[in-house]
Amino acid sequence: MLIVAVVDTNVLRYALEAEKNIRSDKETMTAYEVLIKLLSSDTVILVLNEETAKEYSRHIEAVRQKIRRKRIYPQFFSLLRIIKAKSKKVPVEVHEFTIKGEPVGRKDLHLPNSAKTGALKFNTKKAFVLTFAQDVYRGKEARNGEGVVIYLLNLRNENERKMLEELL
């Protein structure tokens, strides 16, 4: 079974900081470990649209500036090379969602939109959004009329991490 996943920028940033040992707290290590497991799976496709790619670029550049200031070498990220090989671009599309669980605080739905577009493109009924954000995606899943279920996984929650690991 093919799994479509979208990684939030905060997860990417934490993972890059963990790779370069800029931070070593529990969240950064969790982000790094989850991303490595995700990327090593043959059944996972990372999808991103243009909005997500722009956000990634901003966060990658912020981490690069940190490693330049701290004079950490080498300054390239092996994680980015793997992500680039695993990623597929999808067009920017806006979808309607019914979010099960607590209502979303902000209307920041570019990640579920990417997940939904990727799920439709790769003919799968499940997609995952991986995040640490608690102010945006407080629901557990987003549904729409086309049969695609998008699981909004907060990596701070151990049960949600276990759910992802079971799929891999």
pLDDT value for 108: 66
pLDDT tens track for 25-66: 888 898 899 999 988 989 999 999 998 899 999 999 999 999
C-alpha separations of 163 from 24, 43, 56, 153, 166 in Å: 24, 16, 25, 9, 5
Residue 29 belongs to a domain with what CATH number?
A: 3.40.50
Contact assessment for residue 129 and residue 11, using Cβ atoms and an 8 Å cutoff: no
Q: Which domain holds residue 52?
A: 3-167
pLDDT tens track for 146-162: 788 888 888 888 888 88
Mean pLDDT of the chain: 84
Regarding pTM above 0.75, the answer is yes
Domain count, the chain: 1
Contact assessment for residue 2 and residue 45, using Cβ atoms and an 8 Å cutoff: yes
pLDDT value for 45: 93
Contact assessment for residue 44 and residue 167, using Cβ atoms and an 8 Å cutoff: no
